[in-house]
Structure formats: C-alpha cells, structure tokens
Structure 1
Amino acid sequence: MKKIYIVLFALAITFSGCKKYFDINSDPATPQDPESKTLTPPLFAQMERGIQFDARYIGGTIQYFGGAVNVGENHGWLRNSDALGEIWRTNYYGLGANLNLIISDSQERQEYNYVGMAQALKAWGWQITTDYHGEIILKQAYEPNRFVFDYDPQSDVYAEVVRLANESIANFSRTDGVGTPAKMVGFDLAYNGDASKWIKFNYGLLARNANNLINKASYDPDKVIEYVDKSLASNADNFIVPNAGSTAANANFFGPQRQNMQLYRQTRIMAGLLDGTYFTGTAGTVIDPRRANMLTASPDGVFRGTLPNSGDPGTTAGLNKIPNLWGVLDGANPGIGQGKYLFKDNSGFPIMTYAELQFIKAEAAFRDGNPGLALTAYQNGISASIDFVSALGTVITPAAKTAYMTSASVRQTAATLTLSDIMLQKYLALYGYGFIETWSDLRKYNYNVGDTKGNNPYFPSFVFPATFSADNAGKPAQRHRPRFNSEYIWNVAAIRAIGADKDDYHTKKMWFTEP
C-alpha cells in the first residue's frame, strides 16, 4: 500500500499544473453534477415500470388478470427471486438518489418547482412501496457508508408521505426563486410544468393516504373529502405516463411489442361487472358501454373470463376460448399498434385519475353519513371512467353513456346506494392500472371474509382461489416481501427482525388494515 502512495505522489509532482490529465470530472460527456431537468424524464418511465412489472403477479391476486400464469393468482411468492420486487427497485434505485440529487440541485438553483416535483414523486414512491411491502427502510435509506439498514414501521412511512406532499405543495406555491413552468416543459412528462396540477396530484396522494386508514381511530372522512376537493378536478388532470409505441424500446410494457402479456386472460369478475351480473343479479340485463373497449368476446360472441388460478376451460371447437388482454386467443401477437385499452403499444399508463379520486370521496362521504354527497361523487366517478375508456378505443356515444348512467347498474338515489356499489365501481374503473390501490381496498375490507354468515358486503363478486399457495397456511396474501437481491442477501439481520424470514410472512396483515 505504501508503494502505491509513493507512486501517486511522484505522478502528482510530475504533472502538477497539467489539469487535463487529472480532472476526469470535467468531461462534458459524463457530467458529475447533472441539472435537474436531465434527470427528470426517466423518472416517469421508472414509475410505470415498477407497477407494471409487479402487476404481472399482483394483477392475478386482485383478479384483474387470470389464466393460471404465475403464483400471484394463488397468493404465493417465489423463493430466491427478484420477481414481485420491482416496486422496491423503483423506489430505492430508479427514483431514490435521483430525487435527492434533484432536490439538492434545485434548491441551490432556487428552482423550487423542481424541488416540489421531486418531493411529490418521493411521496408517491414511499406510499406505493409501503402499501405493497408494509415495513420498509425509511430513515436510514440513503445514509452514506451504510451497508445494513433497519426497517421502519408503516405508520412512520405514512407520516413521511404527508410531510413530503405538504412540502411539495408549499414549494409549488412559492413565487420567489427562478423556477418557471417553461423550465419544466419537455422534461416533466406528466404535467409539463403546470404547478396547479402538481398541487392537485399531491392532494390526491394525501387523499389516498388518509382513506387507507378506515380501520384506525384517527380516520377522518371529512379530511379525505377536503383532500379530494383540492385534487384532480377532471380527466384533464389525470397523471399519465406516455408511451410512444413505435418500437419495443418505447412501447407500453403491457403492449404486444413487448410480448409480456400473451398468456394473461381476462377474468370472470371483470366480465361479470361489465355485463351487469354483479350489479343487477342477472347477466346481460345492462351491458356496460365500456365492455367492448376493455374486454373481448370469445369466438362465439360471448364475453367470458377465467376464475382465479384456473386456466382457459374453453375449446377451439366450442368457440368458447377466453381471449387474452390484447383481445386474441392462445397468446398470439396481434401485431404492432394493435391490442386494446391500456394493453396497446402506445397506451399511456395512469398513475392517478380523477375517477379514482371521486370514488375515494364517495367512500369517505358514505362512511361519514352523507349519502347524498356519496351518490354525487360515485356517479361522477362512473362518468369519468366511461369518458376515460372511450378515449382509448371505440368512442362511447352520449346516448350509450346516458343509457348506462340511468340503468339499474348505477344507483339513482342516495337511499339505495351501498358501500358495495361504490367499491365495485371503483374496482371496475381502476382495471389495468390501479393495482396497488385496488389491493389496498381489498385488504382494508378484509377481502371476502365479510360477516359471520360469510357475506361480503363490499366485494360480493370477489372469491378466493380454490387453494392458496402451500406457504400461506390457508391465508390470503397481505403484502409482498422486500426485494430478494438487496435484502435477503445483504440485509438478513434486518429481515429477521421484521419476520420476513418466515415462509408465511406475505400473509402478515398490514398496519393500515388493523385497528
């Protein structure tokens, strides 16, 4: 080691004054101090990637996807694998330090809108990661020179989301500094620098955060309603990550070019919601105008779907095979630019929508004993969802929309509205994108357990698979484990401390679902 120091000292004397030989950080092609704007566009792709990768599994658990494709449908997990760990990777690696760099750089430059954007994305990252994994690493996450990390309780993460969202709102509300919307145009792929929309997004995060706490004594439905009223005001405020779809590199992960979803089938619960079965009790009584855009009929013209952890029971001869999410049979690739709804190459991916927020408001108002307000928000959510779906496929005519909105599938009076109506319409509206929010709803209402008579008052059409994974001990999944490669190899002591070394850890209930 001493010889190395002597050699370096000699070289330093020989080349003193010759800066170009030693100042490797001055290479303009590889800047070590990048501006916030150069770090920003990839962040949105990371958000989409994290959810969509893990949606291949969680989509089966919540029954948006079927076909007995993987362990998600029987609520299981994969040993020694990073599968189901992409949200973790997104939060800590894809966003993580990049957001810290943006905050530091932008504070120094007094570009407070970039600070606010980074804080909003950090809040989103913490919320979605804790809702997916439970206890996670928060306080020590980015401490330098640390190689092992302690886990923090979910309550601390929820509090941090609130802090960050409020700080983001404050930064987007500042009138000092040099940050302008123009400086974010072309780099902010969601809102193009519109501070008012970022503020609404933050209030949407606060609404999600507060509405997950229905089982806590601190739950405040009035506060949830306040947050929603300050959040997304229409579909024009939706947070959508765009996808060009011209090549596999810039195409939607769910689209045909990426070939990730060939074997995933549409599900029985979605078919039943869209043909009126689970709203009126009779299939075909009221056909939802969204159905043709969201699902595909079998060759015999009947819309079908799989049961959880079941393959396709149809036969080619019987013309009753169940299509996949692209609208084709047997995993065939429909070709570039084809597919449907959110499963097309160029479909953007929603991170948050106005429809979702209206259903959150409806739920809070109903729980607050204000059925009139709940009815209005519930109908607003359905209407917004129809408009959203219409924009992604065959246009839904005003007449078709009106016919559905005044049908037996949609409650017309406050006296007839139930919490089940609200939650099922929300479940339907979030199909294909609201995976973690839907899973949070299912878990906070204890899945399909219902009352002592076995009735599920919230999701009556949701049924468990015939058998759970062998590791589950007869219990449904409540969380997913921390990412294998970073935690089960390098952070084993911390894993043991939270019980994540146990085979059935993924069935341990979340803090937010408990009283």
Structure 2
Amino acid sequence: MKKLIYALLPILFILGSCEKYLDVNKNIDAPDYVEGYLYLANITQQYQGIYWDIRAIGPLTQMMGTTSTFFVPFANHYYASGRDEGGEMWRVVYWNQGMNLENLINQSMDAEDWTLAGIGYAMKAFSWDMLTKIHGEVPMEDAFVPGLLSHDYDYQKDVYAQVREWAYTAIELLERPDDHNYGTKISDNDFIYHGDKAKWIKFAYAVIVRNLASLTNKTDFAGAYAEELITAAGKSFQSPDDDATVEVAGGSQSAPYSGYNNFWGTARSNLTYSYFQHEYAVQVFTGTVPEYDESTGDKIRLDQNPYYPYKLAEKQIITDTLLDEPGHFDPRVAVKLATTSNPTFLNLDDTDNVKSYQYYGGGFTGTVGPIGQAPSYYGRNIASTVTGTVHDGIGRWIYRDDAPYILTTYAELQFCLAEAYWKLDRPSEAFDAFKKGVVADMATTARYIYPGREGSATGGDKITRNLFNTLSSEYVNGPYVNGLTDFTLSHIMMQKWVALYPWGAPEAWVDMRKYHYDIDYTGEYPSNGNGWIQALVEQKPDSDPSKVYQGFYLRPAQVEGRKGSYDVRNEGSPSYRLRPRFNSEYMWNLPALETLKPIPGTADNYQTSIPWFAYPQEMPQ
C-alpha cells in the first residue's frame, strides 16, 4: 500500500477537496487507480519547490542574502545537520511528483496516449536535470523499485545521459501521430502549455540545451557536446512566447487555499524580510562594481558621490547607471531589484524620476550592506504586510501572488548558445546569440510589470511597461549590447546571470561552480592548498582577463567586505552541492551515502564535493 499512498496524497493536497474524485477508485477502501490526466495538474504545480530551494541557492550565488536561521548556513556555504532546508527539489522528484509522474507515464504508455506520455517524459527530464545539478549523485535506477528499503546512488555522468534520453523520448512520443480525443483533459490540467504539443517538444529540447550547457568547461565539450547543444537550441524556443512557466491562480487572502498563491507572493509570507537582494546584485545591476586595491583588498573611497562613495571599476560589464547618458541605463534594475525610492508610485512614466531611484543591497547574513540597508523584495525596510494605509498589496513583478513560476526562458537558452559558440571560437555567432538573449530577457522582464497605483503606497512596480520598453530599446542599442566592442565570455555569463535573477538561481549556481567561483588555482580544478586553505579563498582579481564574474568574491576572499571564513568542517572550500534531503537519506539510507566517492555523503564536508559536470575531465576516484 505504500506505493498507492505516495501516488494519492499530493493529488488530494493540491486539489483541496476530494469529493469530486472519489468515484475514480475501483477499491472503495483505498485508491488503486487514477486516470493519467488527473495527475497532470498536481505534477506541474509541484514546481513551486524550485522557489522553495532558491532561498538556499540564492545566497550561494550572491543573488540573495538572508537572516533566516534556517538558511544562514547556506549563505555561509555550510550544511546544518538534521534539517531539510535546501531539500525541496529532492522531495519534489521523489515524493511530490514521484510515483504520480511514474504512473502518468506508465499508464499513458499502456493506453498509447502518446501526447500525455510525452509531456510526462519532458517533465521528468526537466526535474531530474535540476535534481542532479543541485545534489550531484542521486538514486536513479533504484528510485521507484517496489519493496526496496535502501537505494543505491547513481553517479552524475549516468544521470546526465539518462536525462537527455528521457528528453529525446518525450520528443519522439510527442511527434507520434495521436488520434486520441482528449477533449479538455490535457488542456485543462496542463498549467504550462495547455497541451500544446509543439511547445512541449521545444521544452524537451530546452532541457537538452540546459543539460549540455553545464558541460561547457569540460575539456571534451567541443567534440562531445557542443554540436548537440547547438542542434537542440535550434529546435527549442524561438522567442519569449515559448518561455516555460507554470500558471498560478492567485487570489491572495481570498484564495480558498494559500497554495493557490505564488510561493514568493505577499499572501504566503515566505520572503518576508528574512531574504533580500545581495550587495553584489545591486553592484551588477547598477554598474557600481567597485575597484579594489590589489595590495590591500580595500575599496578606494572617493567621497564624491554621497550615494556611491567608492571608486568604480573601470570596466562595468552590464551597465554604468550612474552615468546619465542614453543607452547606459539598464531598466531591468527598476523591475528586478527593490527600492524604497518613490514609495507612493509617482511619475512612473518619467525617465528622470525612474533613473533617480537608489538601490541598496545587504550582506550574506544581514540587511545592512556597504552603502545602505537592503529593502525587502517588495520595497520597504520592514516585513511585508497587506493591511493598513501603507502595505505591499499582492506584491510586484514575479513576487506577486498571481505571478507564474518561471522554469526556463528563450533568453536563457540564447545565452547557453552564445557560450557554446564562444567555446567553439565562433565569436560572431556567439555575439548574435548574446544580443538575442538580452532582447529576450527585456521582453520576459516586461511581461510581469504591474505598476503601483499613483499616489498610493500599496505595492506594485515602480516603472510603467511603456517606459521600460523605451529604455530597454535605448539600452540594447547602446554600448553594452549592440554597440559592444570588447565582447568577452564575461559579457555572456553575467548577462545570463542577470537574466536568471533570481528565479534561475539554480542554473546560475551551475555556471558559477563550473567556473569554480573564479578561484585562482593551477591544474584542472581547485583543491586544498591550491585555491584555498582553511581560512582563505584565493580568487582572481578583476584585473585578471580570465575572470568570468567581475566583482564577484566569496566570503573568505580577503577583499573589503569579504574577510570572513567558512566553517572549519568545509576545510576551506566553498559549497559545490546541496546535501540530500535529511529525512530520507540521512535517516534511512546512510549505507548508500557512505559509498560515494571521492567524498562520502556522510563526511562533514560532503557539500564541498565537486560534481562531475564541474570537473574538466572525469571525477577522481
């Protein structure tokens, strides 16, 4: 009966009332069969789990800071034993989707419902791709074998290959002729593409692109993976209209269940004021990455600008917002970042007004940053509220109660393609994909703008969609995109980081790990004594032309604001993976964890074990 309970509980949880569905069971005492399409709504909605785990992964990418007791360990690249934070995607794959997804696929295959089976395989490929990128080695072959009380782990290289096989299976099934009359069974329960087979095929190719894009720093990327990535990208998303998102009903406090609202919306209080934009995000978005004195690691103070009193790095990769010239202002800052400026939403269509906003970011574990205090994601220096004359309403941008969950976008794929072309030494094609990526992210960003009400401090975005589009056109035609003359890998990867902010933090973390956080080391990959020691991480200075993420420094990097250290159990290393979910693996599956190499899953520093995708060659034994 365990298997049957696994399949049923998440369905009843999402649908809320089971009265309508009691008649689908043949066994009056317990459920023994659910029609395939009835699994679909629940499976798609479980992708909210990504947003759960971004509270752990966001701080690892310096997109977020946090004061939450449960997530501070992740900001410090350490693992707090005995807790399940950072294990939600583990739960999604093995439990929330779990047997529901397996049953959907198997029953659909038996019934020759090729469309439904293809959708199932596409989602399975997407979920497992994210799972292994976050956690590394995972139980795959043993995952859903009835009767097993322990589950052996599969190594990431094998999981990667299986992900692509599932994606290609999805494509093959979706391309098969299917004369079954589904009516509205798929369209009403598919909250991603409403049964649009053509878009699901593109989505499956997108999974392949994302899977292969994590391998760009491998020595055999050009010969083994690049052409497959390029081919898949050509068959995947063709514009931002193909972006994969999960619809969210919303309803705020009037919703029959709080889960109808976006996990990051005000109604669910999951971001509150325990999470906030990191100072690095503010520096990137505003073009205020500072110059550090390489002899001392300190910033160079100028005191000429009361808002930003430090000497700026000569080369800003994304923008230089403090320079008031057309094309130098990236309007995404006014949407993706929060600001306490203009609390009553006045003159949202005025260029000078919007450009005057000031942005502040916090540290790793505190809201106070180097130049001010980071606001909440809703734009105030207090925890969110939805009552009173001043409140946050239903949120803003993708932090709204009714905002969809973003899974992947055309913009992201274009940056993956640009990086692949760059690695193949095809810079003109890389530049073309890069420009398409920036334009696409502008379109995706604009789609979710909902301006606040003029004169009323009750939440919303602080720019109109019309002004955003005008400024984005200026920016694209300016010196940082179309007019760029010194195009580098940094431009590709940092624009991708901006495009992923913050919904795509898991993929941004993939990129940062495959480039080893810009750690300065010799040989194939960093290690103790070669890139870090117990209390110091050696990172490339911004003057190093091989540095990918300009201005990015880990906590023990010994530059101003980064002179801390990691827990001694990290042995000096930053985190390279999240540990498996405690309540399944560390409670019930320890023997399997103990066999993992090169670092056992039971070791104090298992979170520092470098995953296969980040090794230039194969994993050491």
With the length of structure 2 as denominator, give the TM-score of the two structures. 0.75
The answer for the alignment partner of 1:15 in structure 2 is none
1:82·1:483 contact (CA, 8 Å) conserved in 2? yes
Find the residue that maps to 1:506 and give its secondary structure.
helix
The answer for the alignment partner of 1:54 in structure 2 is 53
CA RMSD of aligned residues (A): 2.3
1:298·1:304 contact (CA, 8 Å) conserved in 2? no
Pairwise mapping of residues 447-466 of structure 1 onto structure 2 (< 5 A)? 447-450=517-520, 454=541, 455=544, 457-465=547-555, 466=564
Aligned mate of 2:322, from 284, 306, 313: 284
Aligned-partner residue type, residue 266 of structure 1: Q
Aligned mate of 2:385, from 323, 333, 336: 333
Residues of 2 paired with 1:293 and 1:25: CA distance? Answer: 48
Residues of 1 paired with 2:215 and 2:509: CA distance? Answer: 14
Aligned mate of 1:444, from 492, 504, 514: 514
The answer for the alignment partner of 1:43 in structure 2 is 43
Residues of 2 paired with 1:470 and 1:151: CA distance? Answer: 27
Pairwise mapping of residues 105-124 of structure 1 onto structure 2 (< 5 A)? 105-124=107-126
Residues of 1 paired with 2:141 and 2:375: CA distance? Answer: 46
Pairwise mapping of residues 15-164 of structure 1 onto structure 2 (< 5 A)? 26=26, 31-48=31-48, 50-69=49-68, 70-164=72-166
Pairwise mapping of residues 279-318 of structure 1 onto structure 2 (< 5 A)? 279=317, 282=320, 284-285=322-323, 286-299=328-341, 301-313=357-369
Find the residue that maps to 1:417 and give its secondary structure.
coil
Aligned mate of 2:500, from 430, 433, 439: 430
The answer for the alignment partner of 2:312 in structure 1 is none
2:361·2:367 contact (CA, 8 Å) conserved in 1? no
Matched, 1:384 2:454: no
Find the residue that maps to 2:260 and give its secondary structure.
coil
Residues of 2 paired with 1:214 and 1:27: CA distance? Answer: 51
2:269·2:384 contact (CA, 8 Å) conserved in 1? no
Aligned-partner residue type, residue 230 of structure 2: I
Pairwise mapping of residues 398-417 of structure 1 onto structure 2 (< 5 A)? 398-410=469-481, 412-413=483-484, 416-417=486-487
Residue by residue over 1:311-332, the C-alpha shift from the partner in whole angstroms, topping out at 9 and shown as x without a partner, is 32589xxxx4321112121223
Aligned-partner residue type, residue 514 of structure 2: K
2:41·2:191 contact (CA, 8 Å) conserved in 1? yes
Residues of 1 paired with 2:114 and 2:358: CA distance? Answer: 54
Judging changes above 3 Å, is the alpha-carbon distance between structure 1 residues 412 and 281 closer, same or farther for their aligned structure 2 residues? Answer: closer
Matched, 1:240 2:245: yes
Aligned-partner residue type, residue 261 of structure 1: L
Residue by residue over 1:439-460, the C-alpha shift from the partner in whole angstroms, topping out at 9 and shown as x without a partner, is 1000011112146764362111
Residue by residue over 1:375-418, the C-alpha shift from the partner in whole angstroms, topping out at 9 and shown as x without a partner, is 111111111111111121130544312211122232535x6210
| More deviation, 420-429/362-371 | 362-371
Judging changes above 3 Å, is the alpha-carbon distance between structure 1 residues 29 and 407 closer, same or farther for their aligned structure 2 residues? Answer: farther
- Displacement of 1:307: 2.9
- Displacement of 1:336: 6.7
Residues of 2 paired with 1:363 and 1:238: CA distance? Answer: 20
The answer for the alignment partner of 2:269 in structure 1 is 259
1:113·1:179 contact (CA, 8 Å) conserved in 2? no
1:289·1:396 contact (CA, 8 Å) conserved in 2? no
Aligned mate of 2:591, from 493, 497, 501: 493
Aligned-partner residue type, residue 379 of structure 2: G
- Displacement of 1:281: 7.9
The answer for the alignment partner of 2:373 in structure 1 is 321
Matched, 1:198 2:200: yes
1:112·1:177 contact (CA, 8 Å) conserved in 2? no
Find the residue that maps to 2:588 and give its secondary structure.
coil
The answer for the alignment partner of 2:566 in structure 1 is 468
1:294·1:340 contact (CA, 8 Å) conserved in 2? no
Residues of 2 paired with 1:153 and 1:303: CA distance? Answer: 43
- Displacement of 1:283: 5.2
Judging changes above 3 Å, is the alpha-carbon distance between structure 1 residues 129 and 179 closer, same or farther for their aligned structure 2 residues? Answer: farther
- Displacement of 1:108: 2.3
Residue by residue over 1:446-505, the C-alpha shift from the partner in whole angstroms, topping out at 9 and shown as x without a partner, is 112146764362111221123223421211110011111111111111111110111100
Matched, 1:274 2:279: no
2:63·2:277 contact (CA, 8 Å) conserved in 1? yes
Find the residue that maps to 1:66 and give its secondary structure.
strand
Aligned-partner residue type, residue 508 of structure 1: S
Residues of 2 paired with 1:296 and 1:487: CA distance? Answer: 38
Judging changes above 3 Å, is the alpha-carbon distance between structure 1 residues 209 and 39 closer, same or farther for their aligned structure 2 residues? Answer: same
Residues of 1 paired with 2:115 and 2:30: CA distance? Answer: 25
What are structure 1's unaligned runs of at least 5 residues?
A: 1-23
Aligned mate of 2:406, from 350, 364, 367: 350
| More deviation, 54-63/263-272 | 263-272
Matched, 1:506 2:607: yes
- Displacement of 1:67: 3.8
- Displacement of 1:267: 1.8
Aligned-partner residue type, residue 333 of structure 2: R
| More deviation, 156-165/237-246 | 237-246
Residues of 2 paired with 1:269 and 1:107: CA distance? Answer: 48
2:378·2:392 contact (CA, 8 Å) conserved in 1? no
Find the residue that maps to 2:317 and give its secondary structure.
helix
Aligned-partner residue type, residue 294 of structure 1: K
Residues of 1 paired with 2:232 and 2:176: CA distance? Answer: 20
Residues of 2 paired with 1:216 and 1:366: CA distance? Answer: 14
Find the residue that maps to 1:331 and give its secondary structure.
coil
| More deviation, 394-403/146-155 | 394-403
Find the residue that maps to 1:442 and give its secondary structure.
helix
Higher percent of residues as helix: 1
With the length of structure 1 as denominator, give the TM-score of the two structures. 0.89
Aligned-partner residue type, residue 216 of structure 1: K
2:247·2:405 contact (CA, 8 Å) conserved in 1? yes
Aligned-partner residue type, residue 407 of structure 1: G
Count, aligned residues: 487
- Displacement of 1:305: 0.9
Residues of 2 paired with 1:410 and 1:181: CA distance? Answer: 46
Aligned-partner residue type, residue 26 of structure 2: S
Aligned-partner residue type, residue 44 of structure 1: T
Judging changes above 3 Å, is the alpha-carbon distance between structure 1 residues 467 and 408 closer, same or farther for their aligned structure 2 residues? Answer: farther
Judging changes above 3 Å, is the alpha-carbon distance between structure 1 residues 208 and 450 closer, same or farther for their aligned structure 2 residues? Answer: farther
What are structure 2's unaligned runs of at least 5 residues?
A: 1-23, 289-315, 343-356, 450-463, 523-539, 556-563, 617-621
Find the residue that maps to 2:406 and give its secondary structure.
strand
The answer for the alignment partner of 2:353 in structure 1 is none
Instruction: Please identify runs of 4+ aligned residues in structure 1 that moved more than 6 A.
Output: none
1:225·1:364 contact (CA, 8 Å) conserved in 2? yes
- Displacement of 1:85: 0.9
Judging changes above 3 Å, is the alpha-carbon distance between structure 1 residues 336 and 310 closer, same or farther for their aligned structure 2 residues? Answer: closer
- Displacement of 1:230: 0.8
Aligned-partner residue type, residue 410 of structure 1: V
